Structure 1
Amino acid sequence: MTLQETTMEDRLALLERRLASLEDEREIVQLLTTYGALADSGSSAELAAIWTEDGVYDNDVISMTGRDQIFAMVESAAHQGYIARGCAHFNGPVSVHVDGDTAVAVSHSLMVLHEDGAFRINRATANHWQLRRTEEGWRATARVGRILDGNELAPLLLRTGALGQLPPDPAS
């Protein structure tokens, strides 16, 4: 069927679907890229709200389940110490694949620390996000991150996320 053969209603419906898809992607990118600013400002509640109530944040250092544990991580002495000395969490760019009310995203992140009057990269991480549309908007159900230090899981997280696939089980 050519463009001339489609009805105005069909063309409008197609445009509405395309716009909704772009809006979903934009909302997810906005949500995930706020992580750094919220982490570095100590905004515990706002950072925890990136996740669903039962969301999982699993990285090389700690695995947290639920907003309360994520909130507590930001409030911890270790994290507050990073803020007091100077730190920057960079998360992006983000690649998003939306499938109805679920999505997969992938990103790199850097944690930069201020030490001895200079800044140094403390860690570079591969991040695989799983998200769900909720009444609050898009929220993360899982973020799995692994340091890019030769860890075999890190490139798999990047590859599966880039392809819009679920990650391998980090426990395996």
Structure 2
Amino acid sequence: MTDTSELVAQLADRVQLLEDKLAIMHIISAYGPAVDSGSAEAVAGLWTEDGVYDVDTGSMSGRAEIESMVRSSNHQSYIHGGCAHLVGPPHIAIDGDTAVATCHSQLVLRDTETGANRVARITANRWEFARLNGEWKVTLRTNRLLDGRAEARDILAAGVTATV
């Protein structure tokens, strides 16, 4: 029979895991509203100071470059034309103070001529996290377009078997 202190320790570990997963989900779910509202500091603040956002169209290193992406004329045209960055529920694997989350994301743009919305991009996403001073932050986010290339499929396949 298991003693009370062991049960309490097991319960505390399970609660910590749930709190960690919830914190990571909170970060991922904040990305879309922050980037679609043009909240550059909020977007960049999801990353560590030296965090990297690696998109198939280019890579941004550090918060300043991520903020610049949000403020760029290209991104501002998305916002002012009507856009939505939709991030699907993540599969999360946690090991101590590091974690990996894998999910899909979509960029939906409004067609200014017809007013209809269309999916402009669907990507496979790998988010890597570190817990620093008790707070989870993104260290690396890798997005790859789901256009038939193996690289995007590999991200998804690795995610469902991820063990940090």
The interval holding the TM-score normalised by the smaller chain is over 0.9
Give 1:98's aligned amino acid.
I
Identical positions, percent: 44
| Alignment root-mean-square deviation, CA | 1.0
Give 2:55's aligned amino acid.
N
Query: How far 1:18 sits from its partner (Å)?
Result: 0.3
Segments of 5+ residues of structure 2 without an aligned counterpart are none
Query: How far 1:135 sits from its partner (Å)?
Result: 2.0
Determine whether 1:147 maps to 2:145: yes
Determine whether 1:100 maps to 2:96: yes
Tell me the TM-score normalized by structure 2: 0.96
Task: Say whether the 8 Å CA contact 1:103–1:130 is kept in structure 2.
Answer: yes
Tell me the TM-score normalized by structure 1: 0.92
Q: How does 1:1-172 map to 2 (within 5 A)?
A: 5-115=1-111, 116=113, 117-135=115-133, 137-165=135-163
The range that moved more, 155-164 or 15-24, is 155-164
Query: How far 1:165 sits from its partner (Å)?
Result: 4.7
Alignment size in residue pairs? 162
Give 1:95's aligned amino acid.
H
Give 1:48's aligned amino acid.
A
Q: Which stretches of structure 1, 4 residues or more, deviate above 4 A after TM superposition? A: none
Quote the Cα distance in structure 2 between the aligned partners of 1:141 and 1:54.
7
